[in-house]
Amino acid sequence: MKTIDDLQVAGRRVFVRADLNVPLADGTITDDGRIRAAVPTIKRLIEAGAQVVVASHLGRPKGAPDPQFSLAPVAHRLGELLGISVEFASDTVGESAQAIVAALADGEVALLENLRFNAGETSKDDAERGEFADRLAGFVDAYVGDGFGAVHRKHASVYDLPARLPHAAGGLIATEVGVLKQLTENVSRPYAVVLGGAKVSDKLGVIDHLLTKADRLLIGGGMAYTFLKAQGHEVGDSLLQEDQVPAVQEYLRRAEELGVEFVLPVDVVAAKAFPDLKTKAPADPVVLAADAIPAGLQGLDIGPETRKLYASQLADAATVFWNGPMGVFEHPDFEGGTRAVAQALVDSHAFTVVGGGDSAAAVRILGFEESAFGHISTGGGASLEYLEGKTLPGLAALED
């Protein structure tokens, strides 16, 4: 996989596929982590004298312009972080994009509007994707792939465009791949994996793969209740994927056979209803044993004894990968479990990796310094698919 050092970029228009898919609330960016992660590669290209054309998706528009998914706020924030003006094109390959890119001088930066405003970006049809990639390739000279959070998507700007241009991986992708290799090749042990989030079905692939890699798996979040049910416990009104219980039982059996330890909650923080995340009104939480959740209550976080247990399980680890919050961390009544896991990683002497997505957001929202962790990934889904052993289209496209 080539790097920017292998490309001739001075005086050339370089397309940078970044991942600027940041959360917005009423047009305001609530977490700029992915924008900050894109800055080093863009700065390198600026300093090398390139004319930098940045592009990304944001959210899930339906292949047509949708103001709520505009990248305009991102252009403003990117300019602040770079310390220069970033020109913003109001389309992807239309008159605005063509004019703004044509006017770029060496060392200047433009950001195109949301790539997913064009149906060709995400099309399942190779020809339609290819046509959009051709139009993007028509006004640039080289391609740098640096949007790690999108490399598991077979999209025009991720998969088809690199094939049409001299291409290389940006610094962020090179770093992400290097970190993930540390989690899959010659891992320092003990190797502990913390998995949370809502649905166990989203994690089955990575669990299957990690059963032959990890020494222990700690389970939290909504997915924990399917594991507890698989052990024969009642989970009240907690989130439950009943159809996944047989699969989970098989993983528990295989783990025991392989000597891999599954660590499940021993207590939970529960409430009668899912909390209001806008008002943050008190939810009247109660702490219950994990095997004694009655009907009418739902578990929404791991409990205090589980937090201690998980911290002890992480204390002696040499490598830790964490993906998925332990509960509804956006509400103060249910942030304790996620905070405890983050603190355990900070206190650890291990090589610690936060696997993107909600975990990365939680670290920042809860006020932890990013430098306290070994690495915070920008791609939750991409990280998981890599750890599953899947071929990621965006990485394959960058290989020669």
Whether the Cβ atoms of residue 299 and residue 268 lie closer than 8 Å to each other:
yes
Strand order in the sheet with 109-111: 86-88, 109-111, 51-55, 13-17, 142-145, 167-169
* Residue of 388, 384, 59 lying closest to 196 (CA atoms): 384
DSSP state of 104: P
- Is 364 assigned a ligand-binding role in the annotation? no
- Is 63 assigned a ligand-binding role in the annotation? no
CA–CA–CA angle 357, 361, 363 (5° rounding): 120
* Residue of 22, 149, 150 lying closest to 75 (CA atoms): 22
- Is 276 assigned a ligand-binding role in the annotation? no
- Is 19 assigned a ligand-binding role in the annotation? yes
Please count the other Cβ atoms lying within 10 Å of the Cβ belonging to residue 80: 12
- Is 348 assigned a ligand-binding role in the annotation? no
Q: Pick the catalytic residue: 12, 13, 17, 34? A: 34
- Is 358 assigned a ligand-binding role in the annotation? yes
34: annotated active-site residue: yes
- Is 203 assigned a ligand-binding role in the annotation? yes
- Is 60 assigned a ligand-binding role in the annotation? yes
272: annotated active-site residue: no
Q: Pick the catalytic residue: 145, 222, 303, 357? A: 357
- Is 217 assigned a ligand-binding role in the annotation? no
Which tokens in the block code for residue 260?
A: 């891999």
- Residues 265 and 292: their CA atoms lie apart, in Å, by 12
- Is 146 assigned a ligand-binding role in the annotation? no
What residue has token string 């047009």? Answer: 27
Q: Which residues contact 184 (CB under 8 A, 6 or more apart)?
A: 213, 386, 387
**Partners of residue 193 on adjacent β-strands:** 217, 321
Q: Pick the catalytic residue: 2, 199, 216, 364? A: 199
- Is 300 assigned a ligand-binding role in the annotation? no
- Is 387 assigned a ligand-binding role in the annotation? no
- Is 34 assigned a ligand-binding role in the annotation? yes
- Is 197 assigned a ligand-binding role in the annotation? no
- Is 136 assigned a ligand-binding role in the annotation? no
Q: Pick the catalytic residue: 33, 220, 381, 394? A: 381
- Residues 359 and 327: their CA atoms lie apart, in Å, by 11
Distance of alpha carbon 92 from the chain centroid: 24
**Burial environment of residue 67 by CB neighbours within 10 A (0 to 12, 13 to 18, 19 or more):** exposed
**Partners of residue 55 on adjacent β-strands:** 17
DSSP E strands, the chain:
13-17, 24-25, 28-29, 51-55, 86-88, 109-111, 142-145, 167-169, 191-195, 216-219, 261-263, 267-271, 286-289, 298-302, 319-323, 351-354, 375-376
Whether the Cβ atoms of residue 335 and residue 292 lie closer than 8 Å to each other:
no
Cα separation values, 17 from 53, 156, 177, 185, 228, Å: 9, 11, 16, 28, 42
Binding residues for ATP: 203, 299, 330, 356-359
* Residues annotated as catalytic (active site), given as ranges: 34, 199, 357, 381
Q: Point out the annotated binding site for substrate.
A: 19-21, 34, 57-60, 116, 153
**Residues flagged as binding site:** 19-21, 34, 57-60, 116, 153, 203, 299, 330, 356-359
